[in-house]
Amino acid sequence: MTLTTTALMASAIILAAVGIIALYRATVGPTTQDRVVALNVVGTHAVLVIALLAAVFETHEIIDIAIVYGLLNFLLAIAIAKFSMDRGEVL
């Protein structure tokens, strides 16, 4: 392995660890806002980890999966915001 692939793999591992920490905030968060932001962080880190792994393994097909997952993450945030507004909560 070259230095670049080692650095990319280390970055993916660190981002995955931070995403797991954000999952804790998503489950324990005191407010709905904390949970929504934590879920967005987890989704964003998942997209970044997928993109970094695509760069490490030099497969361009995985980038499509990362893009779709990023779009789903965005739609999830919009849906949660709409659901919260319907219930009377303010994000």
Q: In this predicted model, what pLDDT tens digit does every residue of 25-66 receive, in sequence order?
A: 889 888 878 888 898 999 999 999 999 999 999 998 999 999
Q: Domain residues for 25?
A: 3-87
Domain count, the chain: 1
Phi and psi at 66, nearest 5°, equal: -65, -40
- Angle subtended at Cα 11 by Cα 15 and Cα 61, rounded to the nearest 5 degrees: 90
Identify which of 81, 48, 80, 79 has the alpha carbon closest to the alpha carbon of residue 66.
Answer: 48
Position 73 scores a pLDDT of 92
Which pTM was predicted?
0.83
Position 90 scores a pLDDT of 59
Least confident of 23-27, 62-66, 81-85, 87-91: 87-91
